[in-house]
Every structure is written in C-alpha cells, then in structure tokens.
A and B are shown apart, each in its own frame.
Chain A
Amino acid sequence: MMAKRTRITAIIAILFIFLTSACTSRGEPLLAHEPVEVEFWHAMSGDLEKTLQELTDEFNAQSAGVQVKLVNQGDYGSLNEKLTAAVKAKQLPTIAQTYFDWTEKFVQADLVERLNDYMAEPQTGWNADELQDIYPVFLNENNWDGTFYSLPFNKSDQVLFYNKTMLDEAGLDVPATWEEWHSAAVKLTKEKPDGKGRIIGTGFENAVMGEAFNYVLQGGGQFYDPQTGLATFNTPEGAAGIGFVRGMLKDGIARLASEDQFMSTPFGRGDVAMYVGSSAGISFVQSAVGGKFEWGTAALPKGKRSVAFIQGTNITMFNGGTTERKQGAWNYMKFLLSTENNARWAEQTGYLPIRKSVSELDSYKQFVQQHPEMSAGPAQLEAEASLARIEHVDIAGPILIEQMEAMLIGDMPVAEGLAAADEAINAKLATASSSR
C-alpha cells in the first residue's frame, strides 16, 4: 500500500514539474554577440504571410546585427486584443501592424516611438525625395501634427468590380458616375438565363454599414465640422450620399453580401454584375470567378465628389525596446517600404503601392499590363478627396452602424437616421470632452 501511494505521489510530482518548468523558452538573456531580435506582430496569413516572410528573410540575411521575428497574431481583431493584453502585461513587441485608431490609443498612453528622428537621420533615414515619394494620402494618415507615429504598410482602397461579360452583353460601358451606375444596375438586374435565381445589378459588402463617412463624403457632404467640433452627417448632401445606396438596396437593384460574408463569392457565382469592394479582395475574386467570365476593376463611379476610401493597416513602433532594437526595427521598416520591396509586396499581395516611384518601375509596369485589374486601386488614389483617418471614429462608429442598419435594412428615412446619429454623436462628444 505504502509503495503504491509513493508511486502515485511521484507521478503527480513529475507532472507538476513538467507543467511548471519544462516548456518555457522565453526570457533567457541574450549574449552580447547575439543579434538583436525585433518582434513584428502582424495579421497577415496565407500567401500574404508567405510574401512577408520572404522579404523578412532577405532582410535578416543582409543585416547580421538585427533579426526580425514575424509573429502571426491571427486576424486584426485578435491582433488588437493581443496588443491590448500586451500593454497591460508590459509585453509589447517592437513593431506591430495597427489601424490609426489603435495607434491613437497607444500614443495617448505614451507607448509609441516618434519616427521623425529616425526619418531625419542622414545615414539611415529618408531624404526629402524619399519621404515625398509616399502618396500624400498615406503620409497624412500617419502624421499627427507633424509627428509620424506609424508608417503605411498594407494599404488598399475601394474599387468597383464588374462582370465584363455581363456589361458587354447588355451593351454597357463601365459606369463612371452615380447616374450611369444606377441605370446600369437597373439594366443588369434580371432573371438568370437558366431561370435559377436573379442577377442583381450591384453589390455592397456587409461592411457598408460602417461606411456612412464614405458615402456622406461622396454625396458632397462633410461629416465633421472642426470649427464647432460637431458631427454634421445630416445635410442635404450627406443625405443624398446615403440615400443613393439606400435607394439601390430598396429598389432591389443592389444587395448586400449577407450570409455570403464577402461579395467575391456571389460575384464569382454570377449573382451580381458589379460590386464595391476592397482592392485587397482581388485574389479572392480571381479564385471565385475561376475563368467562368471576364471581369475587371475600375475606379468607383463618382457621386458629387470622388473619394479614395483607404483601408488596411500601418506599422507602429513601440517605445519600450532598447535603442539597438528600435534602430533595427526602423531599418526593417525602411527596407519594407523601399521602392523595390514595396513593388514586390504590391505585386504578390494585391495591396496598393505606397510609393509613387513603384509605378515607374519597368517590372511593375509590366506587372500591371499583365494584371490590368491591379490598376484601379492606385488610380482611385487620385480621387478628389480621401478618407483614411476619421476624427472620433471610436465614438461615431458604433452609433453610425446602428443608424445605417436602420436606414439600409430597416425603414428609417435617411434624414431621420442621420439626424439621430448627429444627436447621439454630439451628445457623446460633449460628455467625452467634459470628462477630459
């Protein structure tokens, strides 16, 4: 009996020892001659991660003193959650992919490294030409009153995907204005030739519920008055912008992705003739269509004002690391954003070139010739206005989603929905500013 008890106690003890000691690998001090390790937390999966890994391997091979370790944190939601947890646990990486509103939160908590000094460094920084080579819309997104707290990385914008076969059969050109878009959608909405279901003229991603900003701007309105600090969604122009989308949905000439999750799926099935979507979705459209019909992309049809609606993340450097580590991270950021590497990134992932000089490279010109669908994204950047960083999006975003659902899916009239949104946002802004 005694021997058996001893044996069981020993097994339990061994299990505990295994659990509490055997498996850790972190926390060992670096030897002086070991290269500095820079952790880069990202949310790039599949082919995107493969390309990022290739570029990173090249950087690591040519810079002996610094080794960048890529850490995939799943999707953006998980990355955000992990960063939030890491802030609390004081375990932030050196660099991470971030949206502008995450960066703002980190800046408020004094966790972000200013990049201006790195950029101005004569040896390792950027000269004026190199800085100005970045599209202004991307530079502005990452510039807070003259301070760069992040740099653009995997950027995309909204473009119009169209089924060329369907447009040709209907004798239509790719619509360039809202009027042309509306009438094309009317013409293209019809029963399928095989009688199995209906083709809908236009599609919108489910994310359109969060895009009130975008359509108010396109309608010619402004959603925020910096003078008064108030939300101004409810103007005739703003209402015209949202009303245009609502009208198409209510008339049955447009649909949402709904349970298909993303519009690339119904577009590939031939269930919609056109849709508005992210240029980052091109590869998904390619595989969904699979050669069944001809398709293309174009700049968005213009309402009152053409708008480049910028999406995707930037890279932020956190200020917790050593000087060597942060310098290493800067060198890596500079490497990723060089013209050649940015061109490779754009070609292999479908994200937008960050630098204007990319489009002058022969290799990229050739690439766009072979893949004409890749030209609409950069072309959209030339729009009259851009939408990248949105003031008070943390306050306005949830309210607008609620009102957009009421307007686009429910029966809420546009003017009423926008008035309710303005009222709720301004009330919250007032509370936020008084509590500051």
Chain B
Amino acid sequence: MLPLPKYFANTLLISVMSTVVGTAMAIGAAFAFTSFAFYGRKLAISLMIFTLFIPPDLMLIPNYITIARFGYIDSYTGIMLPLLLNAFTIFYLLQSFAAIPQEYRLVAQAEGCSPFVYLTRIVIPVTAQPIGALMLLKMIGVWNDYLWPLIITNSAEKRTLAVGLLAFGNEAGTNYQLLMTVSMYVVLPITILYFIMRKHILLALPRTHQFKS
C-alpha cells in the first residue's frame, strides 16, 4: 500500500515551508534591489535575470551534488533548499516594488521609519496582492514538482504525492484507473486553493495607477 497520508503531509509541509520562507527571502532581495543603492546592483540584477535562461533540468545534477555535500540528501531541508528561491520570484517582486512611488519612501523616512519598518508597514501591505499571487504560484509549482523530490529523496517517509504517482506503471504498461484516482487527490487540494485565491492572481499584475502620492 502507498503511504498516501504521509506523502500528503510531506507535500503540504514542503509546499508551505518553501512558499513562506522562499517568499520572505524574495521580498528581502527585491526590497534591497529597489530601495538601496549599492555597488554592483545592476550587475547583480542582470546576473539574476540571466539565470532565468538556464533550464531547471540542467540544474538537477549540480543541485544534487551541492545538497549531497551539505549532507542533506533524503531530508526535508534537501528537498526545500533549491526550491526556495528563483530569479522569477525576485524579478516579479522587484517589478511590483519598483512601481511604488518614491514619495512613499521619502515620507516614511521623514517620519523616522527604518527601512525594515517601511518594508513591513508600507511595501508589503501595498503589494499584498502580487505577493499573494506569487505565493500561490509558488505553492502550485512546489506541490506539483516531481523530479527534484524524487532525485533527492531515498525513503518513502520523505517522498511527496507527485512522486507517489510512479507506483502505477512499469516498462510495459500503466494502470491508468489507479493513476487517475490518485492524480485526483494530488490535483484537488491545489485546485480548491486556486479557486479561493483566484481573484488575487487576476488582480496581481503590477499597476502604477493603484498608487497615488
């Protein structure tokens, strides 16, 4: 029997943790890029955007080697680390943050706000919709991810639902009826979440007219 409840719990843990921690890190990076002038900023942004051109599959073996050196093979940490951040997330938030008028920042500075307070009190609330949409997209991505969780784990205790779907076939055929049944359980939670969060996705495109100084 497949340990489906365990797979479900693992998938949930990995999706939620990667989404929350990954988004928090992406917010920090995007905020730094938009709010601080530092040496090599433009180069760093360009390099980050360049990584968008690297196919994720190409990173599979290098990531595996890195995680193996850290000693995190077959661990939740090992699964989550490479899923935390990607250039798209930071780039997307960077666009949203850049659309906030500079006046907000100047007023905040005049009021004596530290950059951290400005980030948590103004930037995040103002860009809540894009952040929400991003979190949802990330959650869907991690939830459905198959190859990385398969490669990095060895034990059934650490595996995810998408990996569990492999149990229904071999080189000579596939048990489609079982595969489809379990696929439904994989797809259902994330579909429900999508419908709940749908309006955030639709409203999430950065729009400058939202902000009035």
| Chain A residues within CB distance 8 Å of chain B | 1, 5, 8, 12, 15, 19-27, 39, 44-46, 48-49, 71-76, 78, 81-82, 84-86, 88-91, 156, 261-262, 264-265, 277-278, 280-281, 283-285, 287-288, 311-312
CA distance A85 to B154 in the complex (A): 13
Picked from A85, A261, A283, A287, the residue with its CB within 8 Å of the CB of B151 is A85
Q: Are A5 and B116 in contact (CB under 8 A)?
A: yes
Bound complex: CA A86 to CA B65 (Å): 8
B151 adjacent to A78 (CB under 8 Å): yes
* Given A76-B171, A88-B65, 8 new contacts (CB under 8 A): A49-B167, A78-B151, A81-B147, A85-B65, A89-B64, A262-B173, A280-B171, A284-B173
Mask: chain B, 114-147; 1 = CB below 8 Å from A; 0 = not: 0011001000000000000000000000000001
CB distance from A15 to the nearest CB of B (A): 6
Q: Which of B61, B81, B150, B154 contacts A88 (CB 8 A)?
A: B61
Q: Evaluate contact between B61 and A84: CB separation under 8 angstroms.
A: yes
Contact check, A281 vs B172: say whether CB atoms are below 8 A apart: yes
A284 touches B175 (CB 8 A): yes
Among B24, B60, B71, B154, contact of A71 (Cβ-Cβ < 8 Å): B154
Whether B150 contacts A78 by the Cβ 8 Å rule is yes
Per-residue contact bits, chain B 149-189, to A (CB 8 Å; 1 contact, 0 not): 01100111000000100111111111110000000000000
A and B contact pairs by CB, cutoff 8 A, 12 listed: A8-B120, A19-B81, A22-B77, A25-B75, A39-B154, A45-B168, A75-B169, A75-B170, A78-B151, A280-B171, A281-B172, A285-B173
- B166 partner, pick from A1, A25, A75, beta carbons under 8 A: A75
Contacts of B173 in A (CB 8 A): 262, 264-265, 281, 283-285, 288
Would you list the 3 A-B pairs with minimal beta carbon distance, nearest first? A284-B173, A281-B172, A89-B68
B171–A91 contact, CB under 8 A? Answer: no
Nearest residue, chain B, Cβ from A20? B77
Total contacting residues, chain B, CB less than 8 A: 41
Would A45 and B61 be within 8 Å (CB), given that A5-B116, A19-B77 are in contact? no
Tell me the complex Cα distance, A220–B174, Å: 34
The answer to whether the Cβ of B194 comes within 8 Å of any Cβ in the partner chain is no
Tell me, in angstroms, the Cα distance from A283 to B173 when the chains sit together: 9
Shortest beta-carbon distance from A62 to chain B in Å: 23
Question: What's the minimum C-beta distance from B177 to chain A, rounded to whole angstroms?
Answer: 8
Q: How far is the CA of A86 from the CA of B60 in the complex (A)?
A: 11
Report if B47 contacts A (CB, 8 A): no
Residues of B contacting A5 in the complex (Cβ-Cβ under 8 angstroms): 116
Complex partner residue of B75 from A12, A24, A261, CB under 8 angstroms? A24
Q: How far is the CB of A231 from chain B (nearest CB, A)?
A: 26
Q: Given A27, A39, A91, A277, which contacts B172 in the complex, CB threshold below 8 Å?
A: A277
List of A residues within 8 angstroms of B154 by Cβ: 39, 71
Q: Assuming the A-B contacts A23-B77, A71-B154, A73-B150, are A81 and B171 also in contact, with contact meaning beta carbons closer than 8 angstroms in the complex?
A: no
> Which B residues are CB-close (under 8 A) to A48?
170
CB distance from B163 to the nearest CB of A (A): 7
Q: Decide: A74 and B150 in contact? CB cutoff 8 A.
A: yes
How far, in angstroms, from A25 to B134 measured CA to CA in the complex?
A: 32
Residues of chain A contacted by B64 (CB below 8 angstroms): 85-86, 88-89
Q: Is the CB of B172 within 8 A of A156?
A: yes
With a cutoff of 8 Å between Cβ atoms, the chain B residues found around residue A89 in the complex are 64-65, 68-69
Is the CB–CB distance between B174 and A261 below 8 Å?
A: yes
Does any Cβ of A come within 8 Å of B21's Cβ?
yes
Whether B26 sits at the interface, judged by CB under 8 Å, is: no
Q: Are B60 and A85 in contact (CB under 8 A)?
A: yes
A25 touches B172 (CB 8 A): no
> Counting CB contacts under 8 A, is B76 at the interface?
yes
CB-based contact A19/B21 at 8 Å: yes
Q: Please state if A46 and B168 are interface contacts (CB–CB under 8 Å).
A: yes
Provide the bound-state CA to CA distance between A136 and B76, in Å.
Answer: 46
Chain B residues positioned under 8 Å from A288 (CB to CB):
173
Contacting residues, chain A, for B30 (C-beta < 8 A): none
Q: Is the CB of A23 within 8 A of B76?
A: yes
A72–B69 alpha-carbon span in the complex (Å): 22
The answer on a CB contact under 8 Å between B61 and A78 is no
Q: Across the two chains, which residue of chain B brings its CB closest to A50?
A: B1
Q: Which residue of A lies closest to B84 (CB)?
A: A19
Please give me the residue from chain B that is nearest to A46 by CB atom: B167
* A15, A44, A46, A75: residue with the most chain B Cβ atoms closer than 10 Å: A46
Docked pose: A19 CA to B72 CA in angstroms: 10
In the complex, whether B100 has a CB less than 8 A from a CB of chain A is no
A281 to B24 Cα, complex, angstroms = 49
- Kindly list chain A residues whose C-beta atoms are within 8 Å of the C-beta of B120: 8
Q: How far is the CA of A103 from the CA of B61 in the complex (A)?
A: 19
Which residues from B are CB-within-8-Å of A311? 171
